[in-house]
Chain A
Amino acid sequence: MKRVYVNEEWCLGCHLCEYNCAFANLGLKDMADALKGKKIFPRIHVEGDEKISYGVSCRHCEDPMCIKSCIAGAISKENGVVTIDRSKCVGCLTCVLVCPYGALAPSEEGTMQKCELCVKNSCGEPACVTGCPNKAIVYEERG
């Protein structure tokens, strides 16, 4: 299946992916209205320093620890995409305790959120990928 991958060599560390992600999942029309002056809650975050940087989002693991560990049974796999039913989540953070990639974080409301490859919003293709100015983030099939 297609997943999001980041080429460290090309990542500029501009954090645009974080903004595009937060905007895509808000479902609002205007980016400035949606994000300006507000704390954003993206599902991808950039790690690194001035020299090397890269975005981290859910790996949609073959055998995800988060699904097995969720105390609410709120995380499942749908067509390969690891998905959270946020109505069931109580914000206990056990998924944060077990994810080896640090790919889950609380939403503004306290329930957990993670990259779901933009399948639940209207983007069609992951917004972090389409908006990356240096094509450092790709959406492709790898072995």
Chain B
Amino acid sequence: MSEYVIIGNGTAAAGCIEGIRSIDSEGKITLISKEKYKVYSRPLISYLLEGKTDVERMKYRGEDFYEKNNVSFFPGISATKIDADKKEISLDNEEKISYDKICVSTGSSPFVPPFEGLDSVQKKFSFMTLDDALSLKEAINPESRVLIVGAGLIGLKCAEGIKDLVKEITVCDLADRILSSILDAECAGIMQKHLEENGIKFLLSDSATKFESNKAYMKSGKEVEFDVLVLAIGVRANISLVKNIEGEVNRGIVVNTKMETSVKDIYAAGDCSEGYDASIGGNRVLAILPNAYMQGFCAGVNMAGGEKEFSNAIPMNSIGFFGLHVMTAGCYDGECFEEKREGVLKRFFVKDNKLIGYMLIGETDRAGIYTSMIREKVPLDTVDFELLRKVATTFAFSNENRRKKFGGVV
């Protein structure tokens, strides 16, 4: 009987369990979880503060998930070392466990640059985990002035989540625009305006250089007084377990399309891994939830002796703030086609007769049709692209393609 060990307990781990069990119903699965909670939906922590969900409904899988899948769950335990020769994992409770196959799904950790005076700030938080969210909630009150460092997905979701619970929110970022990893200047400008209309203040092309208890000294010379500080600058993949045994790592743990690392019988999945991104034709960390699940599932199938490749991953994001939604996918390194109406901006990027990326703001209905065109590399001369730019509809596809999509089991 095979012994599978999964290190980390996020979405990739859940995918891995389901992947293993799709092939092997007998093997022993051990799940090592640093957090004490059963798997929950990490991206929901801002919705928790906003009151749109609660800890119970945030559970990613049902209460009986581990029992049903016959998983030995080790909460509150970290793996400290892998011995690939002895096939043994050391845990921080001094125990050792043996393995046949490992999936490393250790996620990422907040990156905090060495700010001068950061130690003098009493109420400072990251915004990655359920515990982060719960402690932030404890620290804020209706009189709180909050400074968020980082105008990326995490910082802004945090801002939305606590908006009605605090007095004032200022978000600063070194970049000249918000959501700079997924939006161009014009799209970011539209969203920024919307966020400002909802009471969020911004200091862009600017960041804190020094802290003095409740005051941040900015690069621009400005000073910002705050009661609570949230650091959402960026994340770093947790790669040390594999790096320490000389497995190939870069920004993440390098995996092939089967999720195998360079070390035999060790797989990696989710935010800690650096896998194939079909939109750039190379490896990169794609820290998005769908990717984590699919990588985890793929790893699980292969660990259990099945055959699976995950070779069409692309970056894609759906994110909304105060009712305005943005969707993006693929890469933007192509000819741009634009569709602009009151309150709507859509940008499509085309290269070699294929849609390779898009940015949509204000109108996102049925955007998955565009996403599938990128993933399936649909030749644009086989569709009515002019119609598609106006509205996402399968009517723009050829009769044959439509028959395939709607005529049978897919």
Contacts from A to B (Cβ < 8 Å): 3, 5-6, 8, 47-49, 52, 54, 56, 59, 61-62, 65, 68-69, 71-73, 87-88, 90-102, 105, 142-143
Contacts and interface: CB of A to CB of B under 8 A. Distances in A.
B368 A90 contact: no
B241 interface: no
Interface of B: 14-15, 41, 43-44, 47, 52-53, 57-61, 289-290, 293-294, 297, 316-320, 325, 327, 329, 364-369, 371-372, 376, 392-395, 402, 405-410
B41 A73 contact: yes
Given A49-B395, A65-B290, A72 B41 contact: yes
Contacts, number: 117
B277 to A, nearest CB: 16
Given A69-B289, A92-B43, A101 B405 contact: yes
A65 B395 contact: no
A28 to B, nearest CB: 26
Contacts of A5: 406-407
B406 A102 contact: no
A115 to B, nearest CB: 13
A48 B395 contact: yes
Given A68-B297, A96-B318, A102 B368 contact: yes
16 contacts: A8-B402, A71-B41, A71-B43, A72-B44, A73-B61, A92-B320, A94-B289, A94-B290, A94-B318, A97-B316, A97-B329, A97-B368, A98-B290, A100-B368, A105-B365, A143-B408
Contacts of B366: 96, 99, 102, 105
A108 to B, nearest CB: 14
A107 B59 CA distance: 22
A71 B410 contact: no
Contacts of B372: 100
Interface centre among B43, B319, B409 (most CB of A within 10 A): B409
A66 B368 CA distance: 10
A98 B364 contact: no
Nearest to A72: B41
Contact of A142 (B41, B405, B408): B408
Contact of A96 (B289, B368, B394): B368
Chain B interface, >50% SS class? mixed
Contacts of A94: 289-290, 318
A62 B392 contact: no
A142 B53 contact: no
A105 B289 CA distance: 20
Nearest to B391: A47
Contact of A100 (B15, B41, B59, B369): B369
Contacts of A93: 318, 320, 325, 327, 364
Contacts of A62: 409-410
B365 A96 contact: yes
Contact of B368 (A47, A87, A99): A99
Contacts of A105: 365-366
A87 B410 contact: no
B59 A73 contact: yes
Interface centre among B297, B369, B406, B407 (most CB of A within 10 A): B406
A95 to B, nearest CB: 8
A111 to B, nearest CB: 9
Nearest to A52: B395
Contacts of B14: 73
A6 B406 contact: yes
A96 B364 contact: yes
Contacts of B327: 93, 96-97
B59 A47 contact: no
B367 A96 contact: yes
